[in-house]
Amino acid sequence: MSAIPVESPFRRFVEDFVRSPTAVIAAIGVLGIACVAIFAAQIAPQNPYDLAEINIMDGSLPPGSVGFDGFHYWLGTDEQGRDMLSAMIYGLRISLSVSLIAVGSAVAIGMSLGMLAAWSGGRVEAFIMRAVDIQLSFPALLVALLLLAILGKGIDKVIIALVLVQWAYFARTVRGAALVEIRKDYVMAARCLALQPMRILFGHVLPNCLPPVIVIATVQVANAIAIEASLSFLGVGVPITEPSLGLLISNGFGYLLSGRYWISFYPGVVLLVTLVCINVVGDHVRDILNPRMQK
């Protein structure tokens, strides 16, 4: 036993992670999806927003059709003759970037408020945590929906709404983790010595808050994607000029009853695969980090 060298926590994490084949497949899926989104312009057969490339004569073709000028539409076209495959690749990019920006901002705001609450205690803490409680007692989708009903459509507004409904998760988690750390002797000692609070917070407290934040952030990215898709489906999300997967599905809704299922179906499958992959990875990361968080 003693012969085993001390491993870095990261390496141990990776070793634990690869033990589950399902999680590895899901992680590869997440990476693949991310690559597709990043290189959307290079991968997509068509630029769905370049009107010169779209042929209205090819409207509503079923999957596998060959278009007017010999173009192969693997997943069919929408009513305007747009290649669905390309539209989905671009839509994926919008869905992913919106939710990543939103979750990133929510992490930053939530962590700051959570650490502030843990560090200052007293009234400040009570006020922040009360706000967290109230925020979390209302469903995210409804809060975002009502906010957008007032603010109006737009990518920036969707991001604001997502941040508003997600910051509280991070604030609560970070406060909990930070409190554990702040109560430790060395932090107490450092505080008594009047060392710079920023150095204590960022040097010691912050790193200890990271594992739970990573777990929650993974899950919240999936949530953000789903909420954004729902908002766009309801007509209060991203504008029609920048359709996310949700908006693509929404556009196809009108054609579903006449049997042109593919306009809604395939973007939904991509959404499903994306969310399942992220959730499986998130579940597994939580299982690995959890026992260590308790130690």
Contacts with other proteins, residue ranges (CB under 8 A) = 134, 137-139, 141-142, 145-146, 149-151, 222, 226, 229-230, 233-236, 246, 249-250, 252-253, 256-257, 259, 261, 264-265, 268, 271-272, 275-276, 279-280
How far apart, in whole angstroms, are the C-alpha atoms of residue 66 and residue 87? 17
Short-list 224, 263, 271, CA closest to 246: 271
Instruction: Tell me the closest approach of the beta carbon of residue 273 to other proteins, in angstroms.
Output: 9
CA 137 to the chain's CA centroid: 21
Instruction: Tell me the closest approach of the beta carbon of residue 146 to other proteins, in angstroms.
Output: 6
Residue type at 275?
L
Instruction: Tell me the closest approach of the beta carbon of residue 119 to other proteins, in angstroms.
Output: 25
Instruction: Tell me the closest approach of the beta carbon of residue 41 to other proteins, in angstroms.
Output: 26
Measured from the CB atom, the residue of 13 and 265 that comes closer to other proteins is 265
Instruction: Tell me the closest approach of the beta carbon of residue 105 to other proteins, in angstroms.
Output: 19
Measured from the CB atom, the residue of 19 and 199 that comes closer to other proteins is 19
Instruction: Tell me the closest approach of the beta carbon of residue 26 to other proteins, in angstroms.
Output: 10
Residue type at 186?
Y
Instruction: Tell me the closest approach of the beta carbon of residue 170 to other proteins, in angstroms.
Output: 20
CA angle 211, 204, 168 (to 5 degrees): 50
Instruction: Tell me the closest approach of the beta carbon of residue 218 to other proteins, in angstroms.
Output: 13
Measured from the CB atom, the residue of 160 and 180 that comes closer to other proteins is 160
Measured from the CB atom, the residue of 22 and 120 that comes closer to other proteins is 22
- CA of 241: how far to CAs of 37, 58, 103, 154, in Å? 18, 20, 23, 10
